[in-house]
Amino acid sequence: MAVMGRDENRNLQESYGGGPAASKLQVFSDWYESGMNHIWLPYSQMKTASPPLAVTHTDGSRVFLAEGGDLVDGIASWWTACHGYNHPYIREAVESQLSIMPHVMFGGLVHEPALTLARRLAKLLPGDLNHVFFSESGSVSVEIAMKMALQFFLNKGVTGRTKFLSFKGGYHGDTTGAMAVCDPEIGMHRMFTGSLLPEFVAPLPVDAGSIAELSRILEAEGHQLAAMIVEPLVQGAGGMRFHEPWVLRRLRAAADRYGILLIFDEIFTGFGRTGTMFACEAAGVVPDIITLSKALTGGTLPLAATVARDHVFEAFWSDNPDHALMHGPTYMGNALACAAANASLDLFEREPRLDQVKALSAAMMRELAPCRELNGVKDVRVMGAVGVVEIERIDDLNGMRRRFLEERVFIRPFGNVIYLTPAFTIGPKELARLTTAIVKVVGEMI
């Protein structure tokens, strides 16, 4: 990515409402221009990608820019900031913990924020999901879940169960093991097909044909499988694809029939995003292992959890040291992150978050409905605090992103979908700015 020049930067910033840039540019030009020569950005072709916007601070559902002006954030920083940015209660909890103990290793030592969080998560989750293993990112939590599943069978003396089954359209992270269970054909990691350990991929069982295909794969390969992994209700980065709760009940039944562990990847869907605290609640299904991250800390600090049911944990409970789960991230159970997560759970208890999600869902359904009448729109769908406009084809993705910036909103379409995953606390006027921008830009560009 070429470093953004002063004129280009000024023009881009002024396009979304910033004032004259000359006086403000000097404030951040040194750190921006020198730093951009060394940073490697996510999911970006650095040579051709548009320059990123410089952000100075955030508040509620707004991102404030170095050149002046602000954007209404429609995606809550990759679906994390469920309470909005800079919630004072979470900020105070982190500040308090910072003054006492920001971090201590989790090997041989524990602390109150982590143990309290583990207890609270076990109480919130359905069934006997009672055993919490902390890490720092969603991808790593998936790796840990896969490792648990493999070792579960090894510890029980069962050999040959070394494979995983995932689903078309699925995405589970960017680390090597997680990439192996993403969609190998349409996913962002398809170029690694052949370089990763081969796993089985099936269609989600949503109709008679896909149900038959899944049954065929399980009948032929079930004896090799340690686990199947799925994003419940919404396949996020694979295209914001929705499926019905009964699909999860079918997967639970199939896992039980073939003696396979069932892993729910709730990194995106957990903590209210689909309308219930966890997506698995809508189906009345308890997975054997669940992964959590993103909104766990309310969008403040990196933290993830892999939570196992009693029978999974018991396979590791042994006098044999080889049966231990040999995994331990350096920042596992970070005290600052756990303090933020506990504060976030307090807010779910004290403030009407799920009611806000219900109202947000109804508002997005109503305000995005005009898109149904526009040429090139394939589908408009809403589940909880996820709103999606699916387009037949987006010819100029970067151009559409720039056009949203001109409307003073931060919306990041990908593939053929434009989506909203705002903070649950977003105000009606801010939401209207997002939905109005989508209707307007789709009408212009599609």
Residues 309-356 have pLDDT tens digits of 999 999 999 999 999 999 999 999 999 999 999 999 999 999 999 999
pLDDT digits (tens, 9 = 90+) for 352-383: 999 999 999 999 999 999 999 999 999 999 99
Average of per-residue pLDDT across 158-165: 97
- Is the pLDDT at 422 greater than 80? The verdict is yes
Residue 327 exposed, middle or buried by CB count within 10 Å (0-12, 13-18, 19+): middle
Tokens of 59: 């508040």
Q: What is the pLDDT of residue 192?
A: 83
Rounded to whole angstroms, how far apart are CA atoms 376 and 13?
A: 30
Q: What is the pLDDT of residue 29?
A: 76
**The domain 6-83+353-445 belongs to what CATH superfamily?**
Aspartate Aminotransferase, domain 1 (3.90.1150.10)
- Is the pLDDT at 8 greater than 60? The verdict is no
Q: What is the pLDDT of residue 270?
A: 98
pLDDT classification of 193: cutoffs 50, 70, 90: confident
Average of per-residue pLDDT across 161-177: 94
pLDDT classification of 186: cutoffs 50, 70, 90: confident
Q: What percent of the chain has pLDDT over 90?
A: 86
Residues contacting 253, CB < 8 A, separation 6+: none
Q: What is the pLDDT of residue 80?
A: 98
Average of per-residue pLDDT across 280-296: 98
pLDDT digits (tens, 9 = 90+) for 53-107: 999 999 999 999 998 899 999 999 999 999 999 999 999 999 999 999 999 999 9
Q: What is the pLDDT of residue 190?
A: 76
Domains of the chain, by residue range, sit at 6-83+353-445, 88-350
Q: What is the pLDDT of residue 25?
A: 56
Average of per-residue pLDDT across 395-422: 97
- Positions marked active-site: 43, 171, 265, 294
HEC letters along the chain: CCCCCHHHHHHHHHHCCCCCCHHHHHHHHHHHHHHCCCCCCCCCCCCCCCCCCCEEEEEECEEEECCCCEEEECCHHHHCCCCCECCHHHHHHHHHHHHHCCCCCCCCCCCHHHHHHHHHHHHHCCCCEEEEEEECCHHHHHHHHHHHHHHHHHHCCCCCCCEEEEECCCCCCCCHHHHHCCCCCCCCCHHHCCCCCCCEEECCCCCHHHHHHHHHHHHHHHHHEEEEEECCCEECCCCCEECCHHHHHHHHHHHHHHCCEEEEECCCCCCCCCCCCCHHHHHCCCCCEEEECHHHHCCCCCCEEEEEEHHHHHCCCCCCHHHCCCCCCCCCCCHHHHHHHHHHHHHHHHCCHHHHHHHHHHHHHHHHHHHHHCCCEEEEEEECCEEEEEECCCCCHHHHHHHHHHCCEECCCECCEEEECCCCCCCHHHHHHHHHHHHHHHHHHC
Cα end-to-end span (Å), the chain: 28
Please give the CATH topology (third level) of the domain spanning 88-350.
Answer: Aspartate Aminotransferase; domain 2 (3.40.640)
pTM here is 0.93
Average of per-residue pLDDT across 185-204: 83
Tokens of 58: 């955030």
pLDDT digits (tens, 9 = 90+) for 219-233: 999 999 999 999 999
Owner of token pair 């002006």: 69
Q: Pick 161 or 34 by higher pLDDT.
A: 161
Q: What is the pLDDT of residue 390?
A: 98
Distance (Å) of CA 399 to CA 50, 69, 406, 441, 444: 10, 21, 11, 10, 12
Per-residue b/e over 169-183, b at no fewer than 16 CB within 10 Å? bbbbbbeebbbbbbb
